[in-house]
Structure 1
């Protein structure tokens, strides 16, 4: 493993100078210490990967697993996190279902073809949200008017969850993802409340099934005819609700912020709508905080990477966002090229644990961007990009607000 130049490993996560600008440490570590010791808020040490080749390799290597984070020698993100944020009851339940089996049963409902069929409804809902925003007048906050409510509407519709409960999901999500604000007791209570809510919803659907994903999963089985357990159904509902709104809402806001921060980007899309798909992919690559904290892995044995060796027993942080700015992997890595192709970015991870819902996220982002370009061609930021602020102390770092005018 590469060595840092100081005795005390730097504290992680790093602070960025601005909301749309990457932390200064990334470029330095990629050059001088691609496998860098870092210290979590708990005081535990881990290894941070920042180069594209190393991150991609680590994400697909079976010797580096997410399940190993439940081991007692795995690094904890926060001091009060006795079991680890990534080893929550929900995560343990899903692991017990068997990851490959679970993905096979759930993943078929998140194919690109199925998501494409939902796009007209996504655009219709975005139009309604834009109508409301226009009625209330400029300036308006794109986060509260569009970026947050749209993904909540979509995932609630897919799962058959009452949209009116979305404030509950937001509160639970913030508790699970926050690194410093909540105590262990508060986090445990949130897990229990969310699990109880989902178990109750599943019981209601067993009595009266609907045309939604949770109802269909009740009747689904694996290749051996075994259905998902009751606990697995509840944990699946929790995981999809959390993943289905939190990160996508953040991407919608930051996508718009990046495209508006340089007016030439927005103008280029107005002139050529065929670039929408590649523009979404480029924003996913370019955004310095899109993947938040990064993906954690536990090394069950020594793992040789291109730039060094990860020792057995180490906890590893795969920074996809840092890897997506690696000059070795991308021409003009720090420039946004809306027509970039190919674009094998790591925003959704890689390998067997890559984001199952990435077709959903991509379709939502394309739908939102299409509607905003059509409805609000004169959209502009209402504040300078240097004044945008992100959530702090979270595993994900969405913009607090995105004020716009038109």
Structure 2
């Protein structure tokens, strides 16, 4: 039955490094569907368990599009209904079908030589300069940025212009509503001008492919194309670089597992999956879903029109699914993690992100075999006021 007790304030507290709040484990055991009140929007149900998570992410009775009809429960000053992230079928299907052509396993594999070349080029720079180096600004950011810029057709040399605008997408307390709106408009204006250029001179890139599709079977509007390209740039640039730097932090704080991986490179595929499960890339919850009819989750009735908030980092530590869930185990074989989401909104770029992580970690461990953090990991600084967890710098020596 529905729980009408007063909602608890959420988030529960500040995040520390990549630690997961122990209250999630308590909730999974005792109250897996909890009524909460976020800094912005209406009250919602916080969902923490794995089985419920798959249900709300995969069941069409939970809608993303309905969020636009509500004051969406959220951690950000402005709601994020941008493009494909705020759609249900059939509009979501139309945009996803276009992008699916660019992110097939076969097409992604064709990018491997370019990705490997970029990883080694950046390591060459680190070696030439000599230790110490900063894996964030001298490797992770330019590595992820170059790959997504190449794919989309965005000039990488423009990154000093657009990089600051990308933070508007996941800012919680670090930016005001006015700053978020202004930077979002700047990013959309930049992408719109780039698309105007591609209309005059098409190239072999994803932005040109969107423009072509907009004239034919996919019927993409100008707004949809601009927002979609912006989301892809943010995901490929900020999210991938953050996942990579978080993964390196996990390895540096687990020296025994790092040594195991250095000595057994064949473990890299399973290690990457474990890093995607173990490292909580998002600080708290992902986008709210709205129930289109009354639905029960773990004995709690979610009524039609009510919001649920998926705490994916909690689901990835669910003891009923993952043995020794709080341990980082690069040999873990049974690992159906939700690091890329689930259902129709599952990350389309997952094959590319996996390849980037594998290539980057393999190259670093091969070229810098005794790589280690140059300072105490407890002294590292993390970005504040953002949904995505990321270090500001990761100084290393070798």
The TM-score, its normalising length taken from structure 1, stands at: 0.91
1:237 and 1:152 map into 2 onto residues whose CA distance is 14
2:281 and 2:356 map into 1 onto residues whose CA distance is 19
Q: Which runs of 5+ in 1 are unaligned?
A: none
Secondary structure, counterpart of 2:102 in structure 1 = helix
1:96 and 1:285 map into 2 onto residues whose CA distance is 28
Is 360-369 or 64-73 further displaced after alignment?
Answer: 64-73
Q: Which residue of 1 aligns with 2:154?
A: 161
Asked if the contact 2:65–2:87 (Cα under 8 Å) also holds between the matched residues in 1, the reply is no
Q: Which residue of 2 aligns with 1:55?
A: 53
Residue by residue over 1:299-346, the C-alpha shift from the partner in whole angstroms, topping out at 9 and shown as x without a partner, is 222221234222222221111111000101111111122121231100
Q: Provide the aligned C-alpha RMSD in A.
A: 2.4
1:289 and 1:337 map into 2 onto residues whose CA distance is 17
Q: Which residue of 2 aligns with 1:38?
A: 36
1:92 and 1:74 map into 2 onto residues whose CA distance is 14
Q: Which residue of 2 aligns with 1:87?
A: 81
What does residue range 211-222 of structure 1 map to in structure 2 within 5 Å?
A: 211-220=204-213
Q: CA deviation at 1:289?
A: 3.5
Q: CA deviation at 1:137?
A: 2.9
Q: CA deviation at 1:226?
A: 4.3
Asked if the contact 1:38–1:46 (Cα under 8 Å) also holds between the matched residues in 2, the reply is yes
1:51 and 1:237 map into 2 onto residues whose CA distance is 33
Match status 1:182 vs 2:180:
no
Runs of 4+ deviating beyond 6 Å: 92-97
Asked if the contact 1:255–1:283 (Cα under 8 Å) also holds between the matched residues in 2, the reply is yes
Asked if the contact 2:49–2:314 (Cα under 8 Å) also holds between the matched residues in 1, the reply is yes
Is 65-74 or 276-285 further displaced after alignment?
Answer: 65-74
2:156 and 2:144 map into 1 onto residues whose CA distance is 11
Q: Which residue of 1 aligns with 2:10?
A: 11
Change (3 A) 1:145 1:368: same
2:284 and 2:236 map into 1 onto residues whose CA distance is 15
Q: Which residue of 2 aligns with 1:236?
A: 228
What does residue range 372-391 of structure 1 map to in structure 2 within 5 Å?
A: 372-391=364-383
Change (3 A) 1:264 1:129: same
Q: CA deviation at 1:377?
A: 0.7
Asked if the contact 2:63–2:88 (Cα under 8 Å) also holds between the matched residues in 1, the reply is no
Change (3 A) 1:38 1:213: same
Asked if the contact 2:85–2:345 (Cα under 8 Å) also holds between the matched residues in 1, the reply is no
Q: Which residue of 1 aligns with 2:266?
A: 274
Q: CA deviation at 1:290?
A: 4.7
Residue by residue over 1:49-83, the C-alpha shift from the partner in whole angstroms, topping out at 9 and shown as x without a partner, is 111111111101112111111123432434x53xx
Asked if the contact 2:214–2:221 (Cα under 8 Å) also holds between the matched residues in 1, the reply is no
Q: CA deviation at 1:220?
A: 2.9
Match status 1:285 vs 2:286:
no
Secondary structure, counterpart of 2:290 in structure 1 = strand
Secondary structure, counterpart of 1:37 in structure 2 = strand
Q: Which runs of 5+ in 2 are unaligned?
A: none
Asked if the contact 1:94–1:232 (Cα under 8 Å) also holds between the matched residues in 2, the reply is no
Change (3 A) 1:281 1:63: same
Aligned residues: 398
Secondary structure, counterpart of 1:404 in structure 2 = strand
Match status 1:195 vs 2:188:
yes
Q: Which residue of 2 aligns with 1:70?
A: 68
